[in-house]
Structure formats: C-alpha cells, structure tokens
Amino acid sequence: MFAVVLIVGFAASATLAKAQDASGVPHLRRQGTATQLIVDGKPYLAMAGELSNNAATSLENMDTIWPKLVAANLNTALIGVSWAQFEPEEGKFNFTQVDGVIARARENNMHVIFIWFASWKNGTSSFAPYWVKKDYERFPRIQIGEGKTVSISGPVELLSTLGTATRDADARAFGVLMKHIGEVDSARHTVLMIQVENEVGVLRDTRDRSPAANKAFSGPVPAELMQYLEGHKDSLIPEFRAVWKENGYKQSGTWEEVFGPGKPANMEIPIQTTSPPMSALEHQNSWQQLHWASDEIFMAWNYARYVEKVVEAGKAAYNIPMFVNGWLQQPNHAWPGTYPSGGPLPQVHDVWRAGAPSVDILAPDLYLEYFDDVCERFTRNGNPLFIPETSTNPANAVVAVGKYNTIGFSPFGIDGNRPIGADLAATYGLLEQLSPMILARQGTDAVTAVRLNPGDASKNVKLGNYTLTLTYTGRTTRLPPQPRGQVVGSPPPPGTGGNPNEAPPEAAAVLISTGPDEYYFGGAGGAMRVDFTANTPGPANVGLGDVQEGKFADGKWVVTRQLAGDDDAQGEILVLRPNTILRVTLYRYP
C-alpha cells in the first residue's frame, strides 16, 4: 500500500514538474543536493543586485539605473514595490510602477525579483499605506516592555502580527499584485520570484507584549507546531532541538513550559552583550544558553503564520517562488530584540517551516565576514540558498555559486551606496559564461569552489579523478615562471603591472570537472596556483597536457591563448588568474 502511494506520489510530482517546465513559469527544482530556479524550462543563475529601497518609486529615476545594471553584467534586479504606493487608498490599486519596471526590464533584457515592502521593512512598518498607519485601532501595533533595549527610546511603530485585519489587508493587496503580474507576465517570465516583506521581527524587546500577545504567550503552543516538531524530531535544527530537549521534549504546554522562560517585561537588554564578538558558529552553539528562546520562537511562529497567509494569497493568484529574508544576528548582538526577534534566522528555521510551508526559501541578508558559516547555516535541511542582500565581494559570489549552489547573489544598493565595481562586473561576466556548465552539475560532486586569503595554507580539494592543491599567489598580474616547487607570486616584480603597496586581494575559484582528465577553472579576486595529485591507479606523476585560456561565446568554447612555455612555467606550474577561464587537460607519466 505504502509503495503504491509512493509511486503514485512520484508520478504526480513528475507530471507536475513536466507541466511547470513546459509552461516556462519560474519554479524550483531539486538537482542532487541543490535546489535550482527553473525559468523557461532551464536552470537560471541570478547574477543580481538589489536597488536602494525607493529607486523604483520613480520610473524616471529607474531610467538612469538600467544602463548601469546592464553594463555591470547583471541579469536580474531586486526591486521594491511599496504597499503605500500600490494601494494609496484602500481598495484602489496603482499598477503604473510595476508595469513600468517590467516593461523596461524587458527592453534591457533583464529579469526582476520584486520585494513586497508591506507590513514590515527592517522590522518596522514605514511602507504601510497612510490609511493603515493612521488607523491604529483596526491595525494594532506591538507593545514592548519597560526594559526595552538601551540606546533607542520612544514608541515602537511596528504592526502587530496579531492584527488579523492588517494581515488580511496585506494579503488582499498582495493577491491583487500577483494576479496582475500573472496577467502581464505568465507568458514572458520577466518576474522570477518575490520577496515577501523585508527583515521581519520585533525590535527593542524580545517579543510583542500587547494584551493580545501576552494572552497568546500564556496559552498553549499551537497543536500544528507541536505536531510538526514531533514529526521532524530527528531532523530538527540542532540548536533548536537542544532548547526543546532542555525543557523535557514536552508534547504540549505553554510557550514557557515547552521552550523555557521568556524575558521579564521590565528587564533591560543591553544592545552590546558579547565581547569579543561572536562568530556565526558561536551564535549557533550558544543560542539555547544565551537567549530567551521562548520569546523568539513565539515571535517566529506568529510572523510565519501571518506571512503564510500573505504568500498563500499571492500564490493562489500567480504561483512563482517566494522567499523571506532575515536580518542576521550581528557579532555582538546575542539577544533577540537587538536583532529582529522572530525573523527567519537559522535557529528558528523549523518554526518558519512549520508555520509558513508556502514560503520556498529562508534567505540571509549577508553582510557578515563569516560568509561561508552563514551559507552553511542557511543550507541545512535542504533550505535553498538565495542571497538577496550582501556586499560586492566577488570571491563571495564565486563561493556562493560554486560551493553552496546559490540560486542568486545580490549586493544591496547597487544604484548608489554599494555601486558595482569592475571586479564584480568581471566576475559576473565570468560566471555568466560558465553558468551552463555549473548549473548542469550543481548538487553533484563535479563542481565546487575554493576561497583563499593571503596567508592561508594551501587547500586540498578532491574533484573528479584528482586532488587539487590550491595555493594563494596573491596578485592579479601576469607573473614570470618560478623554479619548480616554489610558489609563484607575491610580491610581483617591477614592471608586471601590480601595485605592491596595495593589500593583496582575496582569491576564489570555481572548479568544474568535465571529464576523467579535464577541468574548467574560473578565477576571481586574486591568483592561485593549482597542483594535481592522481586518485586513481596508474603512473604517479601528473602532467599539464593542454592548457587553454578562453571564453564561451554563444555557448561555444573559444580559445584565446594556448598556454605553454613561460605561461605555465615550462609545463610545470599552473596559475589561475582572476577574471580568467582555463581549460586544463591532464595526463599521467611514471
């Protein structure tokens, strides 16, 4: 019986996948360990950027921005839609901005991911329409306790998750928006995905303390959440499960009975609490000891339930992938309320999954130095990675794509405060060329990426039939060959174009195995040397059989230089330079 159900289930999902692919409408599809965004039936890599919040509130302003995005090799822009501008009067909708953005995106051969700036943006509610803001009885605000975080004072103008009229108004408007997008775009697929709200969560206290919230907090944990936790007990995020375990794995009870004590209303939370600052992994390991977990879990559940209703309304009108984004814990912010409490952070991913099953991706706004650790935390339990906000470091783009299978990479404020530099534009150009090869292999062992900083030890990566040893060589310039066994590189000799006074750049490479003895490598940031050790039986030594520098034009490999002699140290040393693609064929000899 079980087998029959399983087979029927697989058949139904295969049929659905086929129908989705045939329609071309954007959707997500699993490939190995990766989840890919499929557009027009093919996997899509979003080399994106997010505009400043109000860039698209004026189409004239946007006209000056599109050419910059195209010049910087972006294929996708994340663009805000303000609820206030979309529904200036209750029930009256204005489609001018959305239509204008879609039309201009098409003219510029770009795709768009809209951000629904509605009930919340950075925790607060500044994009809610005037008719919502002024009616604080119909659309209630949260309340915080006396012991609010230091350094910020005054009232909190933040819509409450428990305002059902607010939720329904937001959902209705979002449904209208998605219906319209479906009408104008379901045949063209310019709009790829939607971010719903922005960095939700309670600020300045650990939870909402309005009478409605206090009542819910002292009541039982909803049965839907308890059932989800029971059903996923073995695969829950470890730091979350530890909290439940510590409190006796109770199957029912109030929030404090099941998840431990919340913060007393009048207890103050200092804004800066950990010294020295903590890394992502330290936050992960200490979350259950340091935090008033029940407050954060309670808020996560309430935001998730609210957002679920909004997403459901949108998907019922036009079903494309939808995600939420999280304002991350900063290194010195240990307590919820210093970061938005209840946002989709890794420690409460299970609560979001239980409360908002229609949300496809829980995404990080990733400005932190420990980029890779955050990618690890956001890819647990199969959460697809998409990075809607980040800085412009090209090495991060390469690592996110090659190692963490991201659906897209998107520096924030590309029209202004974080303009796209030539280095990121070049990396996007390189990734664009390699993307068919990368996307065909994402989620398998045939593609990865490596990051090297000045001073790092060499890194070994097993890929295909060889182990690659990657060694940082620093500068981006062409370097003369060095004797065998010696690392080529820094500092560059005079006349080679490098500036020895500049800080050596971080290097990253995407590494693709395309055959038993063949690789393609793409470099960003700085240069690295690549050595090979064979992992299969046969002669011990590995030779550089054929080294080509080149590019993909219309999907075809075009050799721009054949490298031997001085350019690979007489066949003995391979150096991958930034903004360069190499095709390397190896051979073995005794």
Task: Please report whether residue 415 would count as binding ligand DGJ according to CB under 6 A.
Answer: no
Nearer to ligand DGJ, 87 or 199 (CB): 199
Task: Please report whether residue 122 would count as binding ligand DGJ according to CB under 6 A.
Answer: yes
Task: Please report whether residue 412 would count as binding ligand DGJ according to CB under 6 A.
Answer: yes
Q: Compute the radius of gyration of the chain from its Cα atoms.
A: 26
In the complex, what is the shortest distance from the CB of residue 552 to ligand DGJ, in angstroms, rounded to a whole number?
A: 34
In the complex, what is the shortest distance from the CB of residue 195 to ligand DGJ, in angstroms, rounded to a whole number?
A: 9
- Helix/strand number for the chain, H first, E second: 16, 21
Nearer to ligand DGJ, 43 or 344 (CB): 344
Query: Which residues are 586's β-sheet partners?
Result: 544
Task: Please report whether residue 389 would count as binding ligand DGJ according to CB under 6 A.
Answer: yes
Please spell the DSSP secondary structure of 54-83, one letter per residue. TGGG-HHHHHHHHHHHHHTT--EEEEEEEH
In the complex, what is the shortest distance from the CB of residue 281 to ligand DGJ, in angstroms, rounded to a whole number?
A: 23
Return d(Cα 369, Cα 395) in angstroms, integer.
12
Please spell the DSSP secondary structure of 280-310, one letter per residue. HHHHHHHHHHHS-HHHHHHHHHHHHHHHHHH
Nearer to ligand DGJ, 308 or 365 (CB): 365
In the complex, what is the shortest distance from the CB of residue 414 to ligand DGJ, in angstroms, rounded to a whole number?
A: 12
Nearer to ligand DGJ, 352 or 520 (CB): 352
Task: Please report whether residue 53 would count as binding ligand DGJ according to CB under 6 A.
Answer: yes
Nearer to ligand DGJ, 198 or 442 (CB): 198
Nearer to ligand DGJ, 50 or 208 (CB): 50
Task: Please report whether residue 423 would count as binding ligand DGJ according to CB under 6 A.
Answer: no
Distances (CA, A) of 93 to 119, 129, 314, 531: 16, 12, 15, 60
Q: Which burial class, exposed, middle or buried, applies to 154 when counting CB atoms under 10 A from its CB (0-12, 13-18, 19+)?
A: exposed
Place of tokens 């940082």: 472
DSSP-based three-state secondary structure for 450:
strand
Nearer to ligand DGJ, 389 or 415 (CB): 389
Nearer to ligand DGJ, 170 or 199 (CB): 199
DSSP-based three-state secondary structure for 435:
helix
User: Nearest-CA neighbor of 63 among 23, 105, 7?
Assistant: 105
Burial 399-412 (b: 16+ CB within 10 A, else e): bbbbbbbbbbbbbb
In the complex, what is the shortest distance from the CB of residue 389 to ligand DGJ, in angstroms, rounded to a whole number?
A: 6
Instruction: For 389-434, give the secondary structure using H, E and C.
Output: EECCCHHHHHHHHHCCCCCEEEEECCCCCCCCCHHHHHHHHHHHHH
Return d(Cα 453, Cα 458) in angstroms, integer.
10
Q: Going by C-beta distance under 8 Å and a sequence separation of 6 or more, which residues neighbour residue 376?
A: 404
In the complex, what is the shortest distance from the CB of residue 323 to ligand DGJ, in angstroms, rounded to a whole number?
A: 13
Nearer to ligand DGJ, 301 or 412 (CB): 412
Distances (CA, A) of 16 to 20, 23, 312: 6, 11, 19
Nearer to ligand DGJ, 51 or 354 (CB): 51
Binders of ligand DGJ: how many residues, by CB under 6 A? 7
Among 170, 197, 199, 295, which residue interacts with ligand DGJ (rule: CB under 6 A)? 199
Among 125, 198, 288, 435, which residue interacts with ligand DGJ (rule: CB under 6 A)? 198
Task: Please report whether residue 197 would count as binding ligand DGJ according to CB under 6 A.
Answer: no
Place of tokens 């006074």: 501
In the complex, what is the shortest distance from the CB of residue 69 to ligand DGJ, in angstroms, rounded to a whole number?
A: 18
In the complex, what is the shortest distance from the CB of residue 581 to ligand DGJ, in angstroms, rounded to a whole number?
A: 33
In the complex, what is the shortest distance from the CB of residue 36 to ligand DGJ, in angstroms, rounded to a whole number?
A: 25
Residue nearest to ligand DGJ (CB): 199
Residues that bind ligand DGJ (CB under 6 A): 53, 122, 198-199, 365, 389, 412
